[in-house]
């Protein structure tokens, strides 16, 4: 089977959830005998300047890129506001990418063209015009819902109004596109149900994130040392930054008062200067770390304080695969099949975070049992190879149905 992936960023390095999700599935499909090709936007925000592909991308039969300047422009944003079109989408609807896609589709035949996120949906008509491939949308999130949650948490009224207006345009666009695909791949059952309430009537198949466990086997030596907390995530993604700031401002003071010796270690890409220069007692700022595996493995407790966002959090799965004890908000845990106090902890308020940490400390070395349960749960539910095998069966069924029609 020949599959062409369309992505809104160059999916490397593998340090964010979107890149990890794309990598895990594409590599697994390749291992199962598919020819997987990639047409990636090489954006100014996530620019890849290398002349040769990284070894981790050797599973692609071919990779092509289109250089894209998607810098946020106040002038362009105003233009979209006046036209009533979605600025979120228009930043990725680009003539050069349409041209590159058309050229490739005219050169060879693909069985499936897989769109990675809603932001590739402007290219559906180009695919239909030049190919008979099945068009599949892999929805990493309900996109407008992320922005609804973000805007609701903004206190500055003009900014909140503007984001709510952009979000309404994005929601309208997302609804309009729902029934344009031959197959929709929501990342959770909850997202699938929500899409149906928005008017989706087509074929869907729930495909959770499947990660490659590049960090190796779980490590449990950290449980023999004094416990410490960590946070890691891309801090140019608004929900990550918003959640971390909430944790530092509203949650950490109460934790520090009760457990004055406990340390909180913070790492992440594109960390804003305000965090790099932060000075809080027992909060250690690392910035971007060389090895996320080593960083996560060094600290037994993983903090995921998301207040907005959607889909599934790859960082939770990565922490579980390493045998970490995750303490997450309910929003952060959406779509992940794990049980409170067996595989991880759920906390939504400052008091609940304090109590979850107190529970961890009371358990002492026995806390390792939850870390081990988390690792077992990950391998049972979110192994990339198992998920890809099931998807490939669904793709063959999709193609048979298209032939019969």
Split the chain (405 residues) into runs of 10 and give each run's mean pLDDT.
97 87 95 98 87 93 92 61 71 95 98 97 98 96 82 80 84 95 94 95 94 84 96 90 96 97 96 94 95 94 87 82 96 91 97 98 96 94 91 96 81
Q: Are 108 and 126 in the same domain? A: yes
What tokens appear for 74 in the block? 């106040």
Q: Are 205 and 249 in the same domain? A: no
State the SS3 of 173-185.
HHHHHHHHCCEEE
User: If 0-12 CB within 10 Å is exposed, 13-18 middle and 19+ buried, where does residue 51 land?
Assistant: exposed
Residue that has been written with the tokens 């948490």 in this structure: 153
Q: Are 395 and 377 in the same domain? A: no
Domain membership of residue 310 (yes or no) is yes
Q: Are 201 and 131 in the same domain? A: yes
Domain membership of residue 215 (yes or no) is no
Domain membership of residue 6 (yes or no) is yes
Domain membership of residue 216 (yes or no) is no
Ramachandran category for residue 309: left, alpha or beta (phi over 0 → left; psi -120 to 50 → alpha): left
Q: Which domain holds residue 374?
A: 221-381
What sign results for the dihedral spanned by CA atoms 95, 97, 103, 108? negative
CA distances from 403 to 20, 33, 134, 184, 312 (A): 33, 21, 11, 19, 34
Q: Are 352 and 312 in the same domain? A: yes
Q: Are 98 and 159 in the same domain? A: yes
Q: Are 65 and 192 in the same domain? A: yes
Query: What integer pLDDT is reported at residue 178 of this predicted model?
Result: 96
Query: What integer pLDDT is reported at residue 77 of this predicted model?
Result: 60
Nearest C-alpha neighbor of 397 from the set 39, 1, 90, 19: 1
Q: Are 375 and 398 in the same domain? A: no
Domain membership of residue 17 (yes or no) is yes
CATH code of 300's domain: 3.40.50.2000
Q: Please indicate, yes or no, whether the overall pTM of this predicted structure exceeds 0.75.
A: yes
Q: Are 139 and 253 in the same domain? A: no
Q: Are 352 and 396 in the same domain? A: no
How many structural domains is the chain composed of? Answer: 2
Strand, coil or helix: 26: helix
Residues 304, 327: Cα–Cα separation, whole Å: 6
Ramachandran category for residue 311: left, alpha or beta (phi over 0 → left; psi -120 to 50 → alpha): left
Q: Are 158 and 260 in the same domain? A: no
Q: Are 287 and 377 in the same domain? A: yes
Domain membership of residue 323 (yes or no) is yes
Residues 50, 66: Cα–Cα separation, whole Å: 14
Residues 129, 131: Cα–Cα separation, whole Å: 6
Going by their DSSP bridges, the two strands 325-328 and 264-267 should be labelled as unpaired
């Amino acid at each position: 089977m020949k599959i062409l992936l369309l992505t809104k960023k160059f999916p490397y390095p593998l340090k964010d959830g979107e890149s990890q999700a794309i990598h895990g599935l594409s590599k697994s499909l390749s291992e199962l005998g598919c020819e997987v090709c990639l047409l990636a936007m090489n954006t100014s925000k996530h620019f890849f300047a290398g002349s040769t592909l990284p070894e981790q991308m050797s599973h692609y039969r071919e990779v092509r890129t289109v250089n894209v300047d998607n810098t946020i422009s106040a002038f362009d944003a105003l233009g979209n506001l006046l036209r009533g079109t979605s600025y979120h989408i228009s930043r990725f609807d680009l003539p050069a990418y349409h041209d590159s896609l058309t050229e490739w589709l005219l050169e060879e035949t693909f069985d499936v063209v897989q769109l990675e996120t809603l932001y590739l949906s402007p290219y559906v008509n180009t695919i239909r015009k030049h190919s008979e491939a099945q068009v599949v949308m892999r929805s990493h999130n309900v996109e407008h819902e992320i922005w609804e949650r973000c805007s609701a948490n903004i206190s500055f009224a003009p900014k909140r109004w503007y984001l709510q207006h952009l979000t309404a345009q994005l929601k309208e666009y997302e609804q309009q596109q729902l029934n344009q695909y031959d197959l929709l791949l929501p990342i959770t059952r909850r997202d699938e149900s929500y899409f149906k309430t928005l008017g989706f009537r087509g074929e869907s198949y729930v495909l959770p994130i499947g990660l490659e466990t590049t960090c190796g086997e779980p490590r449990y030596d950290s449980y023999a040392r004094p416990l410490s907390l960590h946070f890691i995530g891309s801090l140019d993604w608004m929900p990550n930054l918003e959640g971390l700031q909430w944790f530092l401002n509203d949650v950490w003071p109460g934790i520090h008062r009760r457990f004055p010796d406990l340390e909180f270690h913070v790492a992440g890409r594109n960390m804003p200067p305000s965090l790099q220069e932060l000075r809080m007692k027992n909060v250690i700022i690392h910035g971007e770390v060389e090895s996320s595996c080593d960083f996560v493995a060094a600290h037994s407790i993983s903090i995921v304080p998301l207040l907005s966002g959607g889909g599934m959090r790859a960082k939770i799965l990565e922490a579980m695969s390493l045998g970490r004890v995750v303490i997450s908000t309910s929003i952060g845990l959406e779509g992940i099949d794990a049980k409170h106090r067996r595989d991880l902890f759920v906390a939504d308020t400052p008091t609940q975070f304090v109590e979850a940490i107190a529970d961890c400390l009371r358990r002492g070395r026995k806390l390792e049992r939850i870390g081990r349960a988390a690792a077992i749960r990950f391998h049972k539910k979110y192994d990339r190879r198992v998920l890809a095998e099931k998807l490939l069966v669904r793709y063959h069924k999709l193609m048979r149905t298209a032939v019969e029609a």
